[in-house]
Amino acid sequence: MLFTLIALSALAGIVRATLNGQCTANGIPGVCLSTTTCSSGGGTSIAGFCPNDPTDVRCCVKTSCGSGGNCRWTSQCASGNTVSGLCPGPSDFKCCLPSGCAPPPVNSATMSLIERFEGFVASPAPDPIGLPTVGYGHLCSTSQCTELGISFPMTQTQAVNLLLKDLKTFENCISADIVDSVRLNDNQYGALVSWAFNVGCGNAQSSTLVARLNAGENPNTVAAEELPKWVKAGGVTLPGLVTRRAAEVDLFQTPSSIIAHPPSC
């Protein structure tokens, strides 16, 4: 009986640790995470702010992300301008950017490139590495994409509208990751959004490509040298990715007088 009570008490303590739950450390919003997960996401672990937190679960805060942003729960982001993939923890703990100019949507050349390489999938199906997708590269959260609330097969119009919605996340993260001193035309910006849509915001943020652009190197040189490195999925080089990266380099190096980054008000 005593052993049972001790076990139940220990279990209750684990439950009260509220892993992935909200916390506030010294006035800074955070999320209760293991110290390893927090560190790998660029956050700082602060003890004593998660209920009965065990040694390896602490309040994880990240006070710098994107361009002038901080990691916040979406309900706490006053500007409503959030970017996914830049903060550790659950999907609703995002980089909250200041109010300001919203990044522009990609141009028609970029849309055509993405649609060509993603291909139109009318009903949910696994992508080359087995993830459920539909439309033009929409990654589903369920195997049958039931979260979309539509009947399949979907129409191409529905697929284009879904792609436009999906791209906002990647337009935001490219705009947030690249400093405003770097000027990109709409083809350069679009090529990077296509790349980020394919590899993810987290990979884009930590990439040498973004670091070199922010260091002031020639954008066309950086794109030509860095984009072709991103051709593997699951550790295997895919011919389709080799072709896609080459097309993105071509788009990036296509002259245009329309400046898309930094965004204008």
Question: Which run of H or of E encompasses 259?
Answer: strand 259-261
Do residues 61 and 25 make contact, with C-beta atoms less than 8 angstroms apart? yes
One-letter amino acid for residue 197 of the chain? F
Paired with 233 in beta bridges are 236
3-state secondary structure of 7: helix
- The verdict on whether 118 is a catalytic residue reads yes
Q: Which amino acid is at 186?
A: D
Q: Which of 180, 214, 162 is nearest to 101 (CA)?
A: 180
254: number of Cβ within 10 Å? 14
| Cβ contacts of 61 within 8 Å, gap of 6 or more | 25, 28, 29, 30, 43, 44, 46, 71
Give the residue carrying structure tokens 């679960």. 57
Per-residue exposure over 2-25, b if at least 16 CB sit within 10 Å of its own CB, e if not? eeeeeeeeeeeeeeebbbebbbeb
Options 115, 118, 171, 225, the catalytic residue = 118
What amino acid positions are annotated as catalytic residues? 118
